[in-house]
Chains A and B, each alone.
Chain A
């Protein structure tokens, strides 16, 4: 018969198991330390974020002030220069100008049709007040009158006015047989007929 083994160690039980865990948690220094650490880290993080935000805010305020200063300076300069035309108006200006000035080819075509056969157009000037100054050489005074009449009747021109009329003898070095001419100057207003291209400068 085998000998019975007798346990000779104390039997350790603890019926406080659930509470013991809670107690352990409640009395553990880890938890308050952890809370404290989280609190410190939290306060530090909030402080850092606040400081960073304040710094950034100050930087942005300074930048904004600088930009505002620059804007004010430019506005002052603009006011000083008297130009308050917006940029869009400047960009539209070439088209406006182009439309404001009659098309040179249209003017020349119109004049060419009115000029007598023996006449030459020597100059054409478009003035700021909208009138056209025309100078030409004609064979006779009758031809000058004829041109003026033609211009008056033309739908493309109006307000025809003779500004100068001179007889011009041939130059001394001119070829033999060269005839004297009548130099006449006119002022007239170009009024292109319907359908004709009004703008384009020239």
Chain B
């Protein structure tokens, strides 16, 4: 009986280079935050998404798992967005299991070009025609997934799902907008800004079409917060310009610009970014984290990704 009560908690875990963000949510749709914690990591534990000190990471994470009495809790986690590849493909209309086999064959045969070997993948169906169907494939190196899963398991948690940060944020965005009676923009750029990196993703028609992670050179940023944020915003603005051009001329079928921006991540960075990018976008939204939660606190804004993960499947 107590096991069942404990299992109703849903945990989300986001790994960043300098910290791990952990959230436990409860309630029928995971909309009540039970606990949240940012676990700082020693420098050199993770660098640009690669785990360099696995034992150290397990040790640091397991300490907090014990402190929070989360041992054995089911958790959804992210792997670095930079290790996830998006591919859109068309296949004959077959059953899901058969489709999975087709994709598996295509990925392993090299017909779909991937920059790594031994991919693990999942997919979502975008369109189903009478004879064919269009899918978006999310693929990642097996070693990366296995390493993160191993860390989580050895830290005392029970990994049940591996997701990507943009899809976790998309889940939270849908909940938040729905709470305010708003609809999802047809085309938008989702910017998850953290000090050490920024995840840029573009969604069209409710499906992701582009992922990119930009590593921010924090060592070269000024010490003062305001200056630091301003430099960060300028750097990112340049990178966003490149991404928008790439999207317009290489990805978008209609060569339309993305005119809506949704900001999420470090609140102080988000505010600076909003001020810097007002001219580049018609509409800039902050992630409506408050609408998605029943016990919202301002500090929850920094935990949007793990909150979205904790809502997975709810």
Contact = CB atoms under 8 A, between A and B. Distances in A.
A18 interface: yes
Contact of B162 (A5, A7, A8, A14): A14
Interface residues of A, number: 19
A15 interface: yes
Interface residues of B: mostly helix, strand, loop or mixed?
Answer: mixed
B160 A23 contact: yes
A10 B171 contact: yes
Given A7-B206, A9-B206, A13-B138, A19 B149 contact: yes
Contacts of A30: none
A8 B184 contact: yes
A176 to B, nearest CB: 138
Interface in A8-67: 8-20, 23, 27
A9 B174 contact: yes
Contacts of A13: 122-124, 138, 163-164, 167
Contacts of A15: 79, 84, 120-122, 138, 140, 145, 162-163
Interface string B182-193: 011110000000
A172 B185 CA distance: 167
Contacts, number: 77
Given A16-B145, A16-B160, A16-B161, A11 B205 contact: no
A4 B186 contact: yes
B291 interface: no
B170 interface: yes
B170 A16 contact: no
A9 B145 CA distance: 25
Nearest to B185: A6
Given A10-B167, A11-B208, A16 B184 contact: no
Interface residues of B, number: 36
A11 B185 CA distance: 16
B187 to A, nearest CB: 9
B312 interface: yes
A16 B120 CA distance: 8
Contacts of B120: 15, 17-18
Q: Which 7 A-B pairs have the closest CB atoms?
A: A7-B206, A13-B122, A10-B171, A15-B162, A16-B162, A14-B161, A6-B206
14 contacts: A4-B205, A6-B206, A7-B206, A7-B207, A8-B206, A9-B206, A10-B171, A10-B311, A11-B170, A13-B123, A16-B149, A16-B159, A17-B120, A20-B161
Interface of B: 79, 84, 120-124, 126, 138, 140, 145-146, 149, 158-164, 167, 170-171, 174, 178, 183-186, 205-208, 311-313
